[in-house]
Amino acid sequence: MKMSIAIPTYEYNGRGVRFLSDLFRTIKSQTLKDVEVVVSDQSKDGKIMEFCLDNIFDLNVRYIRNKKGRGNAALNTNNAMGYCTGEVVKLIYMDDFFYSNDALQLTYDALMKSDKMWLVCGTNHTRDDGKTFDTPIVPRWNDKMLKARGNNTMSGTSVISYRNKNMKVRWDPNTFGLLDIDFYHSLRSKYGDGVYLSDILVTQRVNNVDNIISTRTSEQIEKEFEYCRKKHGITL
């Protein structure tokens, strides 16, 4: 198996199946076909399970019901990663989707032709389910990502891929708003720089649910920054 796509899921305020269907549609259209789809589902209901079992897009889907650590995105992502068997694992959140039909092929080729362990790709954003796209991000490393808010020059979880063999880094369940930046630092500390692919391969939705991060208090946000800075030996 060349690639696994690891997708942590939950009911997403009743929108889970719709978002996952949009993602599956873009997986179906990929030029790379040697792919498995691994869904780790923390939903309270069975709608996503039924959708995966119906398999209307005729994909190679592996569904796992994950009852542990419900509501913790890091733990659910780790669970999905643990079931992946592909040479390369592509992480993507359920409300995001692939922007181009050759996204998986470009990812696989770029990583396998390199001597790197991990890769991040370019991304854009949509606020209207893919009718329009804005805010493109070309990834680059930035030593200030854990020093203050607004310094994430890599973007979110859905831009990440990695070689499956010997991957030891996992998501920290103590992180919430900074889980992606924390993961980047852990990857770089363990394996050195990754491949920074400028091609925009993934679209990330900007949803109202995402605003849950903005409801956290300044004290909570700063406490998480302090935790991550201490973990990675970063001083202001």
pLDDT tens digits along 32-88:
999 999 999 999 999 999 999 999 999 999 999 999 999 999 999 999 999 999 999
At 129 the pLDDT is 86
The domain defined by 3-141+154-173+192-207 folds into: Spore Coat Polysaccharide Biosynthesis Protein SpsA; Chain A (3.90.550)
Indicate the domain borders of the chain: 3-141+154-173+192-207
pLDDT digits (tens, 9 = 90+) for 170-203: 999 999 999 999 999 999 999 999 999 999 999 9
Cβ atoms of 123 and 155 closer than 8 Å = yes
| φ, ψ (nearest 5 deg) of residue 117 | -95, -25
Q: What is the pTM of this model?
A: 0.95
Residues 6+ apart with CB under 8 A from 165: 87
Please report which helix (H) or strand (E) contains residue 165, including its range: none
Which pLDDT band holds residue 209 (cuts at 50, 70, 90)?
low
d(CA 224, CA 210): 18
Mean pLDDT over 116-121 rounds to: 98
* pLDDT(212) > 60: no
Q: Report which residue type is found at 6.
A: A
Residue 62: what pLDDT?
98
Asked if pLDDT for residue 167 goes beyond 80, the answer is: yes
In this predicted structure, what is the pLDDT of residue 207?
79
pLDDT of residue 214: 54
Can you give 217-234 as a three-state secondary structure string? CHHHHHHHHHHHHHHHCC
Task: Please report which residue ranges of the chain form alpha helices under DSSP H.
Answer: 16-28, 47-54, 73-82, 103-112, 179-191, 218-232
**Residue closest to 120 by CA, chosen among 78, 161, 75:** 161
